[in-house]
Amino acid sequence: MRAISPSVSICKQHLGVHTFGYRRFLANGKSFGFSDNDCWNRVCLEHFTGLKIAEYEKDLKHYMTSGETHFLRKGLPDPNSSFLKALYATNVWNTLCLYRKNTQHNFIEAFFFGASPKDSHMIEVYMDQLDFIHDWIEKMQWRLMPFFTEKAHGYFSQTVTESACLQSLEEFFLTVQAECCTNIFLSLSEKEREVAYLLAKGYKRRQIALNLDIAPKTVDANIEHIKAKTHCLSKRAFLKFLQIPKMQDFLRKDENLNSTNKCNTIGFKKMSQLVYCQPELFTKVLQNENIQSTDSRAKIPHCCAK
């Protein structure tokens, strides 16, 4: 918090609040957050660490379905919610909760600005100062980025459990990814694009290794690189991402761009073997006929096979 304390203090003084909080949600339903209120931090650690918070899940579902970005905690807390009652008892209330998606790094982040239960006038202040709050958040997003490296993911805990909400999160992040398909595709290396193309066509890792003349471990490494660049945390989400129409268009265009080499489906070395050993098959490849085989080595005579 020390690195961002000056900026947080300026915002708190401007709005007249006494508590600032932040939470980051990943596509798998896990999240991690912090606040500058020591009393609330102790309560949260003692009573809510590792627990699923229904209020976060409710806010996320509403945000993803309606697009509404800000939520207010005001009036009296729900008597059935231990989380809201704890906030109220800790003197953190009349709170603005503002959700935003980060399209570059594929997560949802929430900013919390809290006053006390008696400060009901803060609701009007928030509405009047929304432009200031949005501008301040834009600047804070860059300052907060270094706090959440991949090593920090070990501190994230499961916040959302309902299957419908998890599915909505996955679909939501796929939509976010589709918005930045161009940048993601351009970030892939040529080999990663080839691997992605074959994965999208349903090829297994050993088939990809045979077709591209690379080791299975190299295929695994390329898949991990692609997953990291697409910010997909699960295999299912990764394969769904490859099926996004816009990503499919990029992969097809890339295949056509490299079609003069004719090496996307059988590999460079196998192509040279076809030239000398199976000229008729090589001619068909040049004519862009679709060659399907579960084992590409079956097309190469034993005299040429490695």
For residue 31, give the nearest of 169, 184, 137 by alpha carbon. Answer: 169
* Residue pLDDT, tens place only, 242-267: 777 767 777 776 666 554 444 444 44
Residues 161/52, Cβ–Cβ less than 8 Å: yes
* Residue pLDDT, tens place only, 38-94: 999 999 989 988 888 989 988 988 888 788 899 999 999 999 999 999 999 999 999
Q: Is 280 exposed, middle or buried (0-12, 13-18, 19+ CB in 10 A)?
A: exposed
Residues 60/169, Cβ–Cβ less than 8 Å: yes
The full set of domain ranges for the chain reads: 5-169, 181-299
- Six token digits for residue 298: 């079956």
Query: CA–CA distance from 80 to each of 41, 185, 281 (Å)?
Result: 21, 47, 71
Residue 201, C-beta contacts closer than 8 angstroms, at least 6 positions apart:
none
Report the top-level CATH class of 5-169: alpha beta
Mean pLDDT, residues 167-171: 70
- Of 254 and 290, which is predicted with more confidence? 254
Q: Does residue 35 register a pLDDT over 70?
A: yes
Global confidence as pTM: 0.60
